[in-house]
Every structure is written in C-alpha cells, then in structure tokens.
Structure 1
Amino acid sequence: MEATSKKQVLLTAIYARLEQAYEGTLEEVLELLNASECEDEEDIRDAIAELEDAKINGTLTWEQYKQELK
C-alpha cells in the first residue's frame, strides 16, 4: 500500500471513530496531538543547539568519548 494511500485509510478510520467519541475524549486527543507537536519543536530546537555547539566547540571521537567516561 502506498504511503499516501495508507495515510488516507488511517485518517478515514480515525475520523469515523472521532465522530462517535465523547467531547471529553476529543479534548484529550487534541491535547495529545498538541503535546506531540510541542515535543517535536523542542527536539528540533535542541538538535539545532547541539549542532551549533559542535561548530563552536568541535566534537569528540568515539575513543576520546570512551576515555572521558573512565
């Protein structure tokens, strides 16, 4: 099944279930989706900060890292 086709099938199934859900359940679903989006944005900000740090301070080789752990 093609990715877009699979997504469409999933969205159709989800929509059908949401149509039958209680209002409180819909609010919880929305909160979960919003939380997931916020976590994604936070992960992206963290990754960018780590890349900037690596540009400024350089990186370690695997051997250097293992030595620091000792």
Structure 2
Amino acid sequence: MKSEQEREQLIQEINILLNQAYDSTLDQIFALLKTIEEEEEEEDLKAYEKAKEEANIDNSLSWEEAKKELKTGIKKEVA
C-alpha cells in the first residue's frame, strides 16, 4: 500500500505523461481504465453475492457485516 505522499507523486508523474500523450493514446488509456474498473466492479459483485449466499446458508454473516467486509475489501484493493 502506498503512502499518501507516494500516491500524490505517482499521480503527478502520470499527469505529466498524460498531458504529453497523443489523443489516440489517451483513448487507449481511457478504454483500459474503464475495463479495469468494470473488472473490479464484477469482482466486488461476486464478493457480495458470496457473502450473501454464506449468510443465507448458516446465518453467520449479517447484511451489515457483509457490507462492511465489501467496503474494507474495496479500500484495500484501491490503496
């Protein structure tokens, strides 16, 4: 996990490169980022469905616990 300072530095470096890129390159980068975002959303949905299924099977996980686990998992992957 990157520190806030490392994240900011990386974002600044990416912005420099983005500002120098050709339009076609920007289009490709945008498409790639959208694909990654869709894949992450699909993974999140699968995790949600799994948590929901486990809760239905043995009542060991409440809806609030499932949401909390999903949010925690999302934050870990983003960081």
The two structures have a TM-score, normalised by structure 1, of 0.72
Query: What is the CA-CA distance between 1:32 and the residue it aligns to?
Result: 1.0
**Larger RCO: Structure 1 or Structure 2 (Cα < 8 Å, ≥ 6 residues apart)?**
2
Alignment of 1:1-70 (within 5 A): 3-58=3-58
Look at both structures and tell me which one has the larger radius of gyration over its CA atoms: 1
**What is the percentage of aligned positions where both structures have the same residue?**
26
Structure 2: stretches of 5+ with no match in the other structure: 59-79
The alignment yields a C-alpha RMSD, in angstroms, of 1.4
**Residues paired across the two proteins, number:** 57
Query: What is the CA-CA distance between 1:51 and the residue it aligns to?
Result: 1.2
Structure 1: stretches of 5+ with no match in the other structure: 59-70
Query: What is the CA-CA distance between 1:7 and the residue it aligns to?
Result: 0.8
